[in-house]
Amino acid sequence: EAQVTQNPRYLITVTGKKLTVTCSQNMNHEYMSWYRQDPGLGLRQIYYSMNVEVTDKGDVPEGYKVSRKEKRNFPLILESPSPNQTSLYFCASNRRGGALDSPLHFGNGTRLTVT
Partner 1 sequence: LAKTTQPISMDSYEGQEVNITCSHNNIATNDYITWYQQFPSQGPRFIIQGYKTKVTNEVASLFIPADRKSSTLSLPRVSLSDTAVYYCLVGDIAGKGGGNKLTFGTGTQLKVEL
Q: Which residues make up the interface to partner 1 (CB under 8 A)?
A: 4, 31, 33, 35, 40-45, 48, 50, 56, 58-59, 88, 90, 92, 96-101, 103-109, 111
CB of 90 to partner 1, least distance (A): 5
The neighbouring-strand residues paired with 47 are 34, 57
Of 14 and 43, which CB lies nearer to partner 1 in the complex structure?
A: 43
Q: Say if CB 47 and CB 91 are below 8 A apart.
A: no
DSSP string, 50-90: EETTEEEE-S--TT-EE--SSSSB--EEESS--GGG-EEEE
CB of 80 to partner 1, least distance (A): 25
Of 20 and 108, which CB lies nearer to partner 1 in the complex structure?
A: 108
Q: Which residues contact 17 (CB under 8 A, 6 or more apart)?
A: 81
Of 53 and 59, which CB lies nearer to partner 1 in the complex structure?
A: 59
